[in-house]
Homo-oligomer: A and B are copies of this chain.
Amino acid sequence: MELQPILDRIGAAMAGAADRGRVADYIPELARASTVPFGMAVVTADGRAHATGDARVPFSIQSVSKVFTLAIALGRLGDQLWTRVGREPSGLAFNSMIQLEHENGIPRNPFINAGALVVTDAILSGHAPREVLGEILRFLREAAGDDDIHINRAVAASEQATGHRNLALAHFMAAHGNLVNPPELTCGTYFHQCAIEMSCMQLARAGRFLIGGGATGPRLVSPARVRRINALMMTCGHYDGSGDFAFRVDLPGKSGVGGGILVIAPGRASIAVWSPGLNEQGNSKLGTEAVEWLAREAGWSVFG
């Protein structure tokens, strides 16, 4: 199978798509984004890379960062992490407080905001935010094999200024004893982690360690843990649209409000797609369509 022609067709179609979704409006710096860009990159298990569109333009990875902080936290704490965060789909919006209240401050999974705050809080424990952000960047740079990955300070500041809802989640978990650091510190670190910028090409390369099955690239996480991270991406990776993504795409993925999605075809490829316009569930509209198209044409499905 030739991937490049498929990517070219997808890129051409997406460039001309009329309905491009709506840019997220609750983070001022992101609200100014255009819905014009579309990029996609695929790195296969053998290490070869393919791309189309704006695949080398850096964008705000936002919640896609949660996959990498989860890998770091599991590496450091192991299964102890699961005493502080669950592994179940949430059935509610990504920033809901309701579930937290019903379950005494234990977030349902590490990919909703509350859960990601706990993960960042776990990594932060006993370190300065600057150190921890350095470690996250090092992990990403090593995974991508590319040192040109940075935090956009303007975006981080913008999130900080409007991050009341995340601070509410953090204070609420602190009230339940499920936060080790002061809420301001954990949230500050989290806002900076979300403001990391990467291109599709960098993100697809950084995702290689999740392909499993002897894929080339750095071996950052054990095979058993790779499968588990994939399982979480499958059931919880798209907030309250996780079931729909699994139903349509048949592959595990994690989306970010900046319009990026990291998708894994286990044993086959790491895929990154970016288009800032979002659908109703808050996931990239064209990005989801592009991945669905690619998975179908390439015959990539975890379900045979």
Contacts and interface: CB of A to CB of B under 8 A. Distances in A.
A175 interface: yes
Nearest to A302: B302
This chain's copy number in the assembly: 4
Contacts of A181: none
Instruction: Report the contact-size class of chain A (Cβ under 8 Å from the partner).
Output: 35 or more
B235 A242 contact: yes
Pairs A-B, 9 closest by C-beta atoms: A91-B91, A266-B304, A89-B89, A164-B175, A302-B302, A212-B304, A88-B243, A168-B171, A267-B304
Contacts of A303: 212, 226-227, 230-231, 234, 252, 264, 266, 302
A269 to B, nearest CB: 11
A80 B139 CA distance: 46
Output the residue of A87, A88, A213 with the most chain B CB within 10 A.
Answer: A88
Contacts of A172: 97, 164-165, 168
Interface in A244-284: 244, 246-247, 250, 252, 264, 266-267
For the residues of A in contact with B, the DSSP-based class is helix
A129 interface: no
A227 B296 CA distance: 11
Interface of A: 86-92, 96-102, 108-109, 164-165, 167-172, 174-175, 183, 211-213, 226-228, 230-232, 234-236, 240-244, 246-247, 250, 252, 264, 266-267, 301-304
B267 A247 contact: no
Contacts of A174: 164
Contacts of A266: 301-304
Contacts of A86: 243
A230 to B, nearest CB: 4
Contact of A88 (B89, B164, B226, B302): B89
A249 to B, nearest CB: 9
B227 A232 contact: no
Contacts of A97: 97-98, 100-101, 168, 172
Contacts of A101: 96-98
Contacts of A89: 88-89, 91, 235, 242-243
